Amino acid sequence: MKNRIAILVAVLLLAVVPFMNVGAQDQTIVDIAVGNPDLSTLVGFASSAGLAETLAGEGPFTVYAPSNEAFAALPTILTEYLTANPEALARVLSYHIVSGEVPAEGGKVATVEGSELTVADGLVDDAAVVGDAIEASNGVIHVIDTVLLPPAVLPEVTPAIVTGDIAIDGSSTVGPVTVSLADSFKNDGYSGNITVGVSGTGGGFKAFCEETRIDIAGASRAIKVAKDPATPDETEKCVANGLNPVEFRVGTDGIAIVTSSANTFATDLTTAEVKALFSTATNWSDVRADFPAEPILRYVPGTSSGTFDYFVEVIGGSNAEEREAFKAAFLAAGNLNQSEDDNVIVQGVESSEYAVGFFGYAYYEENAEALHSIALDGVTPNFESVEGGTYKLSRPLFLYSAPSIIQAKPQVADFINYYLTNVPNVISEVGYFPAADATLNRARWWLLAAIG
């Protein structure tokens, strides 16, 4: 693919370079883009999609031009899909073009593709404008840091005609959303067998990447990428078994740090205090001097849980060495009770005013009458703080599958399609927060690419 882009860029350069000595006011958008080395990928794609000639026309046009770095950030599967599907490529690129000038105050603007962009305060949808506007003879270029994607058009799914079984395992946090949508899929007519396990994020990746016994893994953290070449990571284990993992972001969760409703003293802790609470402190008074001198009873997820991993990542420190030290102290702490079953954690925390634990916000919501949530650095976990990202322990929720599975098992493609289509209507009822529209739209494009 890179060779193809390079050839296209070279051809376009040969066509345009003879005219590059003219004044900037006489250069079209294409002339300027070809002369900007940071836009070479866009130039190649525009030529491939047949848009270079359009952008050399009279205009005026407003072009939101993704940088080479923005294109490089796309999953390889999507880049390959767009390269192999000129109509889809033309649609994506046309979504970056507005026929006419965009008002200085921004707002909703129609694109050449036919959908609308939202322009406001240096943002275009969820992409940031980089640097100053570049004036051309037939319009203006704004360089952006993210490739924009128009609304994905997924094929319609009719559950009643879907056949074949589906196996899912993984995060206990994602589990309730998946169970809800699996039940809905069945209620809408699906007659196959769909199993949903909750062995934890790490357990799900093991079942998916190493044991290859499931079709979809639920995860409350991203799949691990190797930092030590001597230690194969989850992604490498997938690839070794012929699976190219594809990530589908489906929502957002907050991790609630909780105590029994009988606990009236621990209401708002700093990150440093929480770090001590789950590691070096023995009594509550070790966390804060005016707390009771009573032993801390800890009820937490197991080490294969994405909830545990994310908690360590956020609370443990700013670098890997600090986080590893915190994890070691955490696992060596007294009165530590670990379980992959969040209900067991709830029961343990309820049992004593000196108990503390953490798990997904949805489980706190279900048990709010018996539990108190602790504010972290002055921010209480709730819908607004988690969705807005002001609560420190907010985290993304994912599904993972692979193109080889999706293409070999149409029922898996159909269920992921159904999931991505219906999850906005379900996830809030379960107690989590919808992913942003642009984020969910990207997941739908990843599915289109995986289907091929």
Rg of the chain taking only CA atoms, in angstroms: 25
Average pLDDT over residues 120-138: 93
| Of 22-36, 54-68, 312-326, 351-365, the least confident | 22-36
Higher-scoring residue by pLDDT: 108, 342 = 108
The pLDDT-based confidence of 269 (bands split at 50, 70, 90) is very high
Residue 405 pLDDT more than 90?
yes
Residue 431 pLDDT more than 80?
no
Average pLDDT over residues 211-230: 86
The alpha carbon dihedral of 414, 419, 420, 424 has a sign of positive
Residue 59 pLDDT more than 90?
no
What gap in Å lies between CA 421 and CA 403, rounded to an integer? 19
Written as one string, the DSSP assignment of 33-59 is: HHT-GGGHHHHHHHHHTT-HHHHTSS-
The pLDDT-based confidence of 116 (bands split at 50, 70, 90) is very high
Average pLDDT over residues 273-292: 98
Number of residues that this document lists for the chain: 452
pLDDT score for 318? 85
Residue 13 pLDDT more than 60?
no
Strand 394-401, strand 246-260: pairing: antiparallel
Higher-scoring residue by pLDDT: 304, 62 = 62
Residue 231 pLDDT more than 70?
no
Residue 15 pLDDT more than 60?
no
Residue 6 pLDDT more than 50?
no
Eight-class DSSP state of 285:
G
Average pLDDT over residues 327-351: 95
pLDDT in tens, 24-58: 457 889 899 999 999 999 999 988 888 877 787 88
Same fold yes or no, 2-144 and 156-452: no
Tokens of 334: 């007294």
pLDDT score for 393? 95
Q: Per CATH, is 2-144 categorized as 2.30.180.10?
A: yes
The pLDDT-based confidence of 74 (bands split at 50, 70, 90) is very high
pLDDT score for 306? 82
pLDDT score for 55? 81
Written as one string, the DSSP assignment of 209-266 is: IIS---SEEEESSPPP--SSTTS--HHHHHHHTT---EEEEEEEEEEEEEEETT--S-
Q: Per CATH, is 156-452 categorized as 3.40.630.30?
A: no
Average pLDDT over residues 253-270: 96
pLDDT score for 387? 73
pLDDT above 70 covers a percentage of the chain that reads 93
Query: Domain spans of the chain?
Result: 2-144, 156-452
Higher-scoring residue by pLDDT: 94, 387 = 94
